[in-house]
Amino acid sequence: MRLFPVLCGLALLAPAAAAQGGRMQPKVEIAWNRYYDHAELLAIMDRLQAAWPEFVRFVDIGESYEGRRMRVLVLANQRTGEDTGKPAMWVDGNVHGNEVQGAEAALYLAWWLLEHYADNERARKLLDTRAFYILPSQNPDGRDSWFHDPHDAHSSRTGRKPYDNDRDGLLDEDGPDDLDGDGEILSMRKKVAPGTGDYRLHPDDARILIRADREHPGDYELLGDEGLDNDGDGRVNEDGVGGYDMNRNWPSDWQPGHIQFGAGDYPLSFPETRAIAAFLLAHPNVAAVQSFHNSGGMILRGPGDQAFAYPGEDAAVYDAIGQEGELILPFYRYMIIWRDLYTVHGGFVNWTYEGLGIFSFTNELWASPQYYGGGRERPGPSDYSDGQQNEFDFNDSVLLGQAFVDWHPARHPLYGEVEIGGFKREHGRVAPSFMIEEMLHRNAMFCVRHAEEIAELEALAPKVEPLEGGLHRVTVTLVNDKTMPTRSAMAGREHIGTPDSVSLEGPDLTVLAGGVQTDRWRPERLDWQERDPARLRLERGVPGHGSATVAWIVRGRGDFTVQYVADKADDVRVTGTLPR
Amino acid sequence: MLVPFRSILVPAVLALPPGVGQDPALEAPVAPETPESPAPAVQEPAPSGYLAPDEVLEHLRSLREQGRMDWIRLAVTAEARELGVAAFGERALPGRPAILVVADPAGDRPAATAVALALCEALAEGGSPLLERATVYVAPLANPDAAARAFAGLAPRRGAAVDEDRDGLLDEDGPDDLDGDDLLLQMRVPDPTGDWRAAEADARALVRAQRDKGEAGAYRLLPEGRDDDRDRAYNEDDLGGADWDGNWPHRYRAHVPASGPYPLSEAETRALAEFVLGHPHLALVIVLGAEDNLSKPPEAGDDRSAKATKPLAEDAKLLALWSERWLKDAKNKPRSGERGAGGFAEWAYFQAGLPVVQSAVWSPPLDASASAGKDGEKEGDATEDGAGKKNDGAGKKDDKDVPDEVKLLRWNDQALGGAGFVPWRKFQHPDLGEVEIGGWKPLALHNPPAGELPALAEQWRARLESLAEDLPRLSWAKVEVRELGDGVLEARATLVNSGLLASMSEMGSVTNRPRPLRVLLELPEGGALLAGERIQSVERLGGSGGNREYRWLYALKPGSAPAQLRALSDTAGEALVVLEVNR
């Protein structure tokens, strides 16, 4: 990291504008009550760049399988230094093509900080001293397909690289079909002779099927997603476009497709994942990662597998930020992936933490209890899928029926007369239009809090003590009052990246020995370094809300400078003088 | 083509970060004169008579320029060498099963490359019955840069520099040729805390001191070199980074510098992975390298997880069978090197799901008291290379307590005339004081005298040719078609695999990577299926007569052509039968 001049605080502040709440006059007006396809996202990025050219630049990191540009928005005040010299946060969304709202959340973060640089001291500090790398969509192909092709809320999770899911030598030849031509992939159901079906109509609401039982014989069958047996192999919809999961393609604990669906041929086998990995490997200044998904209202962190254990110091950092997140994000819970959700091998935030040593969260945006009053009294994840009646009430009372396509007759070549109906794709996993902005803002502010807790060092004034034989001991303490350490314990344990270093230099002195002081009362307890004592390497860095003390034994006199250099924190420098 | 390694080292030195040269502690040491020992002669690290890797590439180039083989270029290495696969029969036989031979993954087995090159030449001659059944792919030099480094006497590593000792300097403390003989050997350092002692039978041989049996150590054993960066560790930050054979996704070891930054991070490994995954007709992979699963076929296991190391039962049986057939008359039974994690062979088996044969090609005989002409038929079971390992007792009675290292030295003396081992010589080490430099030449223990190569190559040619019989082969048997009246027919038929190999490995049926074979009932225009499945897939059809029976009921229009039955497989070809009514 480069060394930062101390900012001169309030003097830089523009006159306070009437720029918050309902009186805000944005420089760039963006409708935050809707979702945007890939081209529209790029256009928003262009508008931000045009309005704040000194804060926004772009890095094109590659192309998706179908050739869409993968553009990272680099957000940093270039007048206070290059982004690569600042501790940074990576924010992305939408690795699953249908989980669209993460892209808007990522761009909202950039937009809000830019709009408030002038009137908000904390926004200003972040843009001056930190960098943000924002990739709205990890999966622009899946995104665009979700917007423009027939889909439901759950389809288009994959990328668009052809994959032979049914192993018949044909690629993507049997996906769902929009039989009624309404642009939606809905469900198919069929009325059958009483007593021959597994389902019956809900007595109060014929839109809902419920399980038949002994007293209530079934007269309906559910026939899955709208679709045909396109390849005539006796199965319906078994080999659609793509058919994999790019959030299982990362190098940490990656396991092949027969162990975990959708993993891809090998880690980073997709152009999208590979481009992102190359960018992150080339940016050791990234100290925080947020990856936006949907849904369920979760603030997730690893491990993805029970076999992994995170060092206690790092778990405490996660807990502090995650628990604050639960307050910022009502309806969201802070969870551990394997323990509270399911096992994931080769997940993105697993790799960024376990592989790169970066504190990383995945937020699952939108929680169904937000739909309708009754939902909030039902705790626990299993209830989220049990709120069917709730969602119909919401559809009827709050959206006046807009979200649901009523069952209507259609003809199917195999099943004969069927009914097609169900919720449209905008219902279930993404927030409805009128609730989008709140979702974006709260999640963006969770990122802000994460970024604000990136390590920040202060070097206390050096202590100089005379020793026998004309030698001196120089002791320097580095204090970090943020939650995150300069190097995660994972990075220290696994030797990830470059260790921090602290050096002592002076024109008229020689460093004889140096190391980390392990006992503040007994200075001779020094873990001294074998070679190059003037430049100490600290594999563990400086802990969060803590300090590290180093000491040198030196011969000589005059002025000296101590400088601390870290990948993931601003450098600090302090000077002192040895007596003549 | 021997490249003096000093010249190879130059770029690495230039790659050091700025400021390194200013550290007085890092300036190159000047080896002092050693009165005890005369200056050694400059020697070649490889056994003589081998082609250097660049000569191998040149040879391959001329073969393809003569139009005698196809060449699929997979990647260009960091040192601008071509990684490629020679292809035989591919254009003539699209859709037929294929065999892939991969030689010398680690770069230290020029013998493997020599065998593979000889296979290329034999196949290029034409007339091979194998090529009437299969496509053969050969990658004779799987890791060209590492092979070139090893051939020049350096550690066979490749890839970008890694700061193994995390001191901010790259590749600053590798081995050094202290005594100027152009070889990187070993140093034995007199040290009462060392783990090694000289064997009684041969003072040149170092064996591990067994402290629990009252033996004290006398030596520390280090690679020849200085503590270039003055951190009290010797040769701990060597040239290069990832090991080719540790860079694969199965049992990949994260955060180990030699594994590379992530699985398949290297151009060579990723390109070969894409090649394997992009060739669904591969029925078998043969790896000629350090590891061996033929001399001592592995026992079967049942672990199908990401940590599995043992083949599944059906696949283990196949290895045992080939071991029996192929090694029955073999003079040399190679010993397997230690099985490493993250290797190509395990990936090809446990993830790509392909049958994988591994051979170490050759090992120096341990038949210690025999003459050089009699190869090691009586040697013990396969053990790892490595000094000091006790023979496991299967050898001659007198030799029971003779350490392998001593037997290897006898072989060196008798068969090589001493050329494989450089006797220990005293040397005044600038950091360590008096040491001795000597030991095995880098490639001597894994590669036979060049004179033995033609016989090894012929052996492998014969094994490869014998695979023509072993590859899976489909046919229809017991085809019965009966008329039931009114144009309704009942057909029964049995699909048989008469090859030794199943249509895919047992592991393949776990990984879902190889495609199942498909059985199609093809009805003529107007025909109607009354009962049965029009398309069926068979995950795996066993070998040696493995079979499955099918039946259908269908109706044909009067006068129409008969129905057909087709079986299609990536690895076993195609079988077609016309369903004529049995009279």
Is residue A210 in some structural domain? yes
The whole-chain average pLDDT of chain B stands at 87
Is the CB of A523 inside 8 Å of chain B's CB atoms? no
Under the banding of pLDDT at 50, 70 and 90, the label for residue B41 is confident
Query: Are the Cβ atoms of B167 and A277 closer than 8 angstroms?
Result: no
Looking at the fold, whether A297 and A205 belong to one and the same domain comes out as: no
Looking at the fold, whether A474 and A438 belong to one and the same domain comes out as: no
Write the pLDDT tens digit of every residue in B193-214: 999 999 999 999 999 999 999 9
Query: Are the Cβ atoms of A168 and B515 closer than 8 angstroms?
Result: yes
Span A425-432, average pLDDT: 96
**Domain span holding position A178:** 166-240+399-423
Per-residue b/e over A29-59, b at no fewer than 16 CB within 10 Å? ebebeebbbbeebbebbebbeeebeebbeee
- Whether residue A225 is predicted with pLDDT greater than 90 in this model: the reply is yes
Domains within chain B, CATH numbers bracketed = 51-164+239-363+446-469 (3.40.630.10), 472-578 (2.60.40.10)
Span B62-82, average pLDDT: 94
Q: What pLDDT shows up at residue A8?
A: 44
Looking at the fold, whether A142 and A249 belong to one and the same domain comes out as: yes
Contact A188, A180 (CB under 8 A): no
Q: What pLDDT shows up at residue B91?
A: 78
Q: What pLDDT shows up at residue B1?
A: 32
- Whether residue B424 is predicted with pLDDT greater than 80 in this model: the reply is yes
Q: How far is CA A426 from the centre of its chain?
A: 22
Query: Are the Cβ atoms of A531 and B230 closer than 8 angstroms?
Result: yes
Question: Helix or strand or coil: residue A465?
Answer: strand
Interface test with A, best of B226, B232, B250, B262 (most A CBs within 10 A): B262
CA distance A530 to chain B (A): 5
Is the CB of A229 inside 8 Å of chain B's CB atoms? no
> Which residues of chain A does B231 touch, with a Cβ-Cβ cutoff of 8 Å?
530-531
Size of interface A-B (CB pairs under 8 A): 84
User: Across chain B, how many H-helices and E-strands are there?
Assistant: 10, 20
Contact B535, B493 (CB under 8 A): no
Question: Which residue bears the tokens 């012929």?
Answer: B458
Is the CB of A354 inside 8 Å of chain B's CB atoms? yes
Is residue A352 in some structural domain? yes
Taking alpha carbons only, the member of A253, A247, A302 closest to residue B307 is A253
Q: What pLDDT shows up at residue B248?
A: 98
Calpha distance A311→B505 (Å, rounded): 41
Query: Are the Cβ atoms of B261 and A281 closer than 8 angstroms?
Result: yes
> HSE on the CB side for A114, CA within 13 Å?
28
Cα dihedral A63, A64, A66, A67, rounded to 10, equals: -10
Least confident of A125-139, A278-292, B226-240, B484-498: B226-240
- Whether residue A48 is predicted with pLDDT greater than 60 in this model: the reply is yes
Looking at the fold, whether A128 and A221 belong to one and the same domain comes out as: no
Looking at the fold, whether A307 and A286 belong to one and the same domain comes out as: yes
Q: What pLDDT shows up at residue A554?
A: 98
Contact B31, B136 (CB under 8 A): no
Contact B498, B475 (CB under 8 A): yes
Is residue A45 in some structural domain? no
Under the banding of pLDDT at 50, 70 and 90, the label for residue B225 is very high
Selected residues 459-518 of chain A with any CB under 8 Å from a CB in chain B: 494-496, 498-499, 501
Is the CB of B431 inside 8 Å of chain A's CB atoms? no
Q: In the sheet where A298-301 sits, what is the strand order?
A: A56-63, A69-75, A131-135, A88-93, A286-294, A359-365, A298-301, A333-336
Question: Helix or strand or coil: residue A214?
Answer: coil
Q: Crossing angle for the helix pair A121-129 and A436-452, nearest 10 degrees?
A: 60
Query: Are the Cβ atoms of B512 and A499 closer than 8 angstroms?
Result: no
Write the pLDDT tens digit of every residue in A108-145: 999 999 999 999 999 999 999 999 999 999 999 999 99
Contact B358, B311 (CB under 8 A): no
Looking at the fold, whether A573 and A499 belong to one and the same domain comes out as: yes
Q: What is the pTM of this model?
A: 0.92
Query: Are the Cβ atoms of B511 and A252 closer than 8 angstroms?
Result: no
Looking at the fold, whether A348 and A497 belong to one and the same domain comes out as: no
Calpha distance B232→B83 (Å, rounded): 38
Query: Are the Cβ atoms of A168 and B518 closer than 8 angstroms?
Result: yes
Is residue A13 in some structural domain? no
Question: Which residue bears the tokens 């003096």?
Answer: B4
CA distance A304 to chain B (A): 15
Looking at the fold, whether A281 and A358 belong to one and the same domain comes out as: yes
Is the CB of B542 inside 8 Å of chain A's CB atoms? no
Calpha distance A93→B245 (Å, rounded): 35
Q: Give the one of A169, A259, A531 whose C-beta lies nearest to B231's C-beta.
A: A531
Calpha distance B583→B581 (Å, rounded): 6
Looking at the fold, whether A111 and A173 belong to one and the same domain comes out as: no
Name residues whose C-beta falls within 8 Å of residue A434's C-beta, 6 or more positions apart in sequence.
A33
> Which residues of chain A does B252 touch, with a Cβ-Cβ cutoff of 8 Å?
251, 254
Is residue A373 in some structural domain? no
Q: What are phi and psi of B151, to 5 degrees?
A: -65, -30
- Whether residue A152 is predicted with pLDDT greater than 50 in this model: the reply is yes
Round to the nearest angstrom and report the end-to-end CA distance of chain B. 73
Is the CB of B522 inside 8 Å of chain A's CB atoms? no
Looking at the fold, whether A472 and A560 belong to one and the same domain comes out as: yes
Is residue A287 in some structural domain? yes
Query: Are the Cβ atoms of B535 and A234 closer than 8 angstroms?
Result: yes
Is the CB of B277 inside 8 Å of chain A's CB atoms? yes
- Domain tally for chain A? 3
Looking at the fold, whether A212 and A264 belong to one and the same domain comes out as: no
pLDDT above 70: percentage of residues in chain B = 86
Write the pLDDT tens digit of every residue in B538-547: 999 999 999 9
Query: Are the Cβ atoms of B515 and A169 closer than 8 angstroms?
Result: yes
Q: What pLDDT shows up at residue A580?
A: 79
Is the CB of A167 inside 8 Å of chain B's CB atoms? yes
Residue A488 CB neighbours (<10 A):
31
Taken in order A350, A353, A358, A360, is the CA torsion positive or negative? Answer: positive
Span A167-181, average pLDDT: 96
Query: Are the Cβ atoms of B512 and A232 closer than 8 angstroms?
Result: no
Looking at the fold, whether A445 and A531 belong to one and the same domain comes out as: no
Q: What's A261's domain CATH number?
A: 3.40.630.10
Q: What's A505's domain CATH number?
A: 2.60.40.10
Q: Give the one of A232, A254, A494 whose C-beta lies nearest to B263's C-beta.
A: A254
Is residue A36 in some structural domain? no
Q: What pLDDT shows up at residue B398?
A: 61
Query: Are the Cβ atoms of A265 and B277 closer than 8 angstroms?
Result: yes
Is residue A107 in some structural domain? yes
Is the CB of A531 inside 8 Å of chain B's CB atoms? yes
Contact B348, B274 (CB under 8 A): no
Write the pLDDT tens digit of every residue in B236-265: 888 777 899 999 999 999 999 889 999 999
Under the banding of pLDDT at 50, 70 and 90, the label for residue A374 is low
Q: What pLDDT shows up at residue A373?
A: 77
